[in-house]
Amino acid sequence: RRAVQLAPQDGSFHNQLGVILYQVGELEESEAAFRRARGIQPDSVEIVLNLVELYRAHERYEEATEEIKQALALDANRADVLVTFGALSLEVGDLEATELALRHLDALQPGHPEAEVLRECLADATNAQG
Query: Model pTM?
Result: 0.88
Query: 98-106, long-range: CB within 8 Å, 24+ apart, which pairs?
Result: 98/122, 98/125, 104/76, 105/79
Percent of the chain scoring above 90 in pLDDT: 82
**pLDDT the model gives residue 1:** 63
Q: For residue range 45-95, list pLDDT tens digits in order.
A: 999 999 999 999 999 999 999 999 999 999 999 999 999 999 999 999 999
